[in-house]
A and B are shown apart, each in its own frame.
Chain A
Amino acid sequence: MAKLIFLFLTLIPILCTSFTPEKPSDQRILVLLDDFAVKSSHSLFFKSLQSRGFDLDFKLADDPKIALQRYGQYLYDALVLFSPTIERFGGSIDAAAILDFVDSGHDLIVAADNNASDLIREIATECGVDFDEDTSAVVVDHSGYAVSATEGDHTLIASDDFIKSDAPVLFQGIGHSLNPSNSLVLKVLSASPTAFSANPKSKLTSPPSLLGSSISLVSVIQARNNARILISGSLSMFSNRFFNSGVQKAGSPTKHDKSGNEQFFTELSKWVLHERGHLKAVNVQHHKVGETNEPSIYRINDDLEYSVEIYEWSGKSWEPYVADDVQVQFYMMSPYVLKTLSNDKKGHFFTSFKVPDVYGVFQFKVEYDRLGYTSLSLSKQIPVRPFRHNEYERFIPAAYPYYGAAFSMMAGFFVFSAVHLYNK
């Protein structure tokens, strides 16, 4: 017994550290490369990740020892696939394993490139992104290209079709389109209206299948379990060369000393790796006005209060989330009550309303989907019962004729009986 207690006491510090407050940001990242040259040619990108506290594990994509999970536990929180040409991963990893990795809530960054392998294409397709089927096609833009020393074939594109662009982002690679049936995938960087996807070396015989601004260069997906995926059609976008090079878009007089790539991917990787835009909702409470305990059932026309606390992850700590568009529904097949929650700027969202005059099994639903934020979907089931038999009003004014009828009938019967019996 004493031994056990001793064991327990020694374990306490370990147990305590295992209960650190939840951090949504990823910690361990596996980077799979085609060859280790990429590690140095893309070192700026990797350094920015490492400087933000991520633990990068570089492996060759065909390394037979690589594994995403061991004993049912995932070893990594995120996966970076900088291996566009890989045909078969080493170890136990295949497309299905990577998709399972995502479906269990982990993040993924995929960079394809010219000659992207079928494997990479398959993973992208499963995420709602279809690369151009023509394997030799790349995105060509004869008016939005980046001006460079040599004339070139206009495959190096300076794109500025994204939010808050300072300098255009350089892109050289293959384009993709978004699967229209997938509502989760978003274009982050799209090609200009004059772009098209074709083999620049051969003559165009038929119209290209991907045209104009429907071509997406970089896309993100936030899955329903809030796993985030970044898919880019170009690996060189992440490279030190592109990060450092100056850029001048064709037809534009301004020449930027530095392309927007570094800022673009720093911010994007912050989002993908859950340093930004991550919300959590805790402490969902509802109770009758004037009470504090949550009832197991409400009665129709009860007045109730509903509250929830929502926090946003700032990268270091949980900060109160401030928004005026969080709504709660009191829902039974359709929302009977829809109210916007007020908040006290400390993350506490609350409202109060009256239960509708309908009984049934209701749900408190908060469906909060905002671009760039994790989607919050809270639902809490609560039955609503009708009045008990003794909760109705005892006398209703509208029923007085009936009361009158009943009592006059009784009186009349009494009188009649008396007369009939004693008045022979």
Chain B
Amino acid sequence: MAVTTSTPTSPPSMAQDLLNSLPKTLKLKTKQQELLIRVATLGLIYILAFITRLFSVLRYESMIHEFDPYFNYRTTLYLTEHGFSEFWNWFDSDSWYPLGRIIGGTLYPGLMLTAAALYKILHFLRFAVHIREVCVLTAPFFASNTAIVAYFFGKEVWDSGAGIVAAALIAICPGYISRSVAGSYDNEGVAIFALLLTFYLFVKAVNTGSLSWSLASAFGYFYMVSAWGGYVFIINLVPLYVLVLLIRFVGFQHVQSGEHMAAMGVFFLLQAAVSCGSDIWIVLQVFFFLDWVKHLLGDVKLFQAFLRITVTGAVSVGAIALGVGMASGYISPWTGRFYSLLDPTYAKDHIPIIASVSEHQPTAWSSFMFDFHILLFLFPAGLYFCFKRLSDATIFVVMYGLTSMYFAGVMVRLILVATPAVCLISAIAVSATVKNLTRVVRAKVQTLQSGSGKGTSASKGSSKGVIDNSQPFQKNGAMLLLLGAFYLLSRYAIHCTWVTSEAYSSPSIVLAARGAHGQRVIFDDYREAYFWLRQNTPPDAKVMSWWDYGYQITAMGNRTVIVDNNTWNNTHIATVGRAMSSYEDEAYDIMKSLDVDYVLVVFGGVTGYSSDDINKFLWMVRIGGGVFPVIKEPDYLVNGEYRVDKGAAPKMLNCLMYKLSYYRFGELTTEYGKPPGYDRARGVEIGNKDIKLEYLEEAFTTQNWIVRIYKVKPPKNR
């Protein structure tokens, strides 16, 4: 099959030669056959990685998904329309009213530049596509490229077999697909490609010692930095890796000798407290410096004395500097996101704005299983193989795998970073196992010639050690294990396809549900509401909503928002949270001070859509209360829980968010056999059915009540 497909690519002038040589080409040498199969497989993987991400386009349409991608889309549009200079200097007065946002200086432009470049190339090739199509398909395109990089990486670390398996695994791994389906136009889409490319080039540079590879790696890193904040992972992993290599080659004794440990420990602590990006680099420099001093002194006693003085001096100077710096506020502590990486419970207690984001939650076990499936137990097996054949490259992969696994456990979105490592290491396990097993199976055929020597090596190689050396059992066992491996891999493929089609292909601005008769029901309320805003409100209208919808309102509704998903100003968000959790008259003053014209709330009580503003309300209270102590969470709680029914707290029943969500809801029968005002998202009958609005009036409610827009009335005339 592979042969016939490759023949038409030859030029026609060679047809005669080809015809003659056709019988010969059919009998390619084993190596050439292998190459052909490999290239064909890679080609198929390339296509597979792309098309498996197109479920979302088939199910819905070619559209941008979720929240952040809308911002990326809007900026890309701006970039293609106004050029790079304007983009770089862009001051956006449509968001964060009235503060505005300097967009050019506060985003990672890698993604937008990539999409704009693709767009330019396509237009140069006379493909008149819209920029939206380019944006929608950027992530799948880069996922295909990632698969190819994974192949080369696997080849570099282990062998080409492992490379192919790695490419196949990563092409369909749900952990990666979750962020790279068509339409998921987010930084991660290109960043994972950049991350893996950087690592691959780095390992290549380590293996070959070539400057050009390391230069290429540096460029890969540059691209990564321009595309995603996750670059700090690379900048910390690489020196850590070098440190490990040093320990390995310089010798454990050397390091364990006490003085080095102490020095390194102290410096590590100091530097860790001061900065986070370059700490390990400094440790490395200290290490080399000490080595050099020791070499210079040549005397152990003298060196130890020197060390004692310098360490004491450094500790005291460092402590003083740290104290002064902290006291004067010159050294700013780490950002909350980093604290929450080291201590998963930190954000929950201290920074509600970080804890409120669903993708910052600690990962549940089930989502590991969901995103990795069989890789979850192939990963340790792969680690075993790596340790068995320890080399510079495998050490790197092991370190990458272990550190990223830790981070994946801390924050659910970081599963994405761990995915390439898990795929690579699992690929090593699969490749090595299958290779060993096939060797066993094939060795049996020629077992008589090669003797028992080969047999034992094969059995040693296979992960499941065969107890008996008697050949029939070994052969059958190997066959069985092979079948088992293929069964597992096919289950993996089925699982991945299922997860992709069912869980990760939803654009989340268009919702789908099953109707009473099993038919698909589409809720397109978000776009309906944003379109209404765009068509029916004055162009300079200011819309207040919870920050989740900010990017969508600016991108789709083309209206000014108070807060959006770029959560850079906690106070501003807290002000909105405070308005939402205040009584109407208090909220009115806040809204007037922010010149709010419209208020947009998302409400799922009619459809049973659970991620609506009432369910997010606790975060509005917490974030608002974190800045404005007037808002006290216990006022909204009854026995420690948020309720919306008759037993709810009085403040809850009369706060702005409740009123706006449930206005006129008491008249509506949502479900047969239930009283009017039955909230299907929370499964209760609401507690305040007679809601009167004094300072706002209903302006628009979408078909399924998911988005409700209210107009803020002008002050009373008389």
Contacts and interface: CB of A to CB of B under 8 A. Distances in A.
Contacts of A389: 88-89, 104
Q: Top 9 closest A-B pairs, CB basis?
A: A383-B93, A385-B91, A361-B98, A388-B89, A223-B717, A103-B717, A360-B100, A332-B98, A361-B93
A127 B102 CA distance: 47
A224 B102 contact: no
A128 interface: yes
A184 B718 CA distance: 7
A381 B540 contact: yes
Given A333-B593, A389-B88, A361 B717 contact: no
A174 interface: no
A383 B540 CA distance: 12
Interface string A349-387: 000000000011110000000000000000001011110
Given A227-B717, A362-B98, 10 more contacts: A103-B717, A223-B717, A224-B714, A297-B93, A332-B98, A359-B100, A360-B99, A383-B93, A385-B91, A386-B102
A297 B715 CA distance: 29
The listed residue with most B CB atoms (<10 A of its CB), out of A128, A221, A227, A360, is A360
A361 B88 CA distance: 19
A333 B591 CA distance: 11
Contacts of B100: 359-361, 383-385
Interface of B: 88-89, 91, 93, 97-100, 102, 104, 540, 560, 593-594, 714-718
A278 B594 CA distance: 30
Interface string A212-240: 00000000010111010100000000000
Contact of A359 (B91, B594, B715): B91
A194 interface: no
Interface string A100-118: 0011000000000000000
Given A360-B99, A362-B98, A127 B93 contact: no
A221 B540 contact: no
Interface in A111-131: 126-128
B717 A383 contact: no
Q: Which applies to chain B's interface (DSSP): helix, strand, loop or mixed? A: loop
Contacts of B717: 102-103, 223-225, 227
Contacts of B104: 389
A205 to B, nearest CB: 35
**Size range of the chain A interface in the assembly:** 20 to 34
B91 A126 contact: no
Contacts of A384: 100
Contacts of B715: 224
A182 interface: yes
Contacts of A385: 91, 93, 100
Nearest to A126: B718
A223 to B, nearest CB: 5
Interface in A178-209: 182, 184
Contact of A386 (B91, B97, B560): B91
Given A383-B93, A386-B91, A224 B98 contact: no
A70 to B, nearest CB: 23
Contact of B91 (A221, A229, A381, A383): A383
A221 B593 contact: no
24 contacts: A99-B718, A103-B717, A103-B718, A126-B718, A128-B718, A182-B718, A224-B715, A224-B716, A227-B717, A297-B93, A332-B98, A332-B99, A333-B98, A333-B594, A359-B100, A360-B93, A360-B99, A361-B100, A362-B98, A383-B91, A384-B100, A385-B91, A389-B88, A389-B104
Contacts of A333: 98, 593-594
Contacts of A182: 718
A4 B282 CA distance: 87
A215 to B, nearest CB: 21
Nearest to B88: A389
Contacts of B91: 297, 359, 383, 385-386
Nearest to A358: B99
Nearest to B91: A385
Contacts of B716: 224
Contacts of B714: 224
Interface in A141-188: 182, 184
Interface in A290-322: 297
Contacts of B593: 333
A362 to B, nearest CB: 7
Contacts of B560: 361
Nearest to A227: B717
A361 B97 contact: yes
A392 B709 CA distance: 43
A386 to B, nearest CB: 6
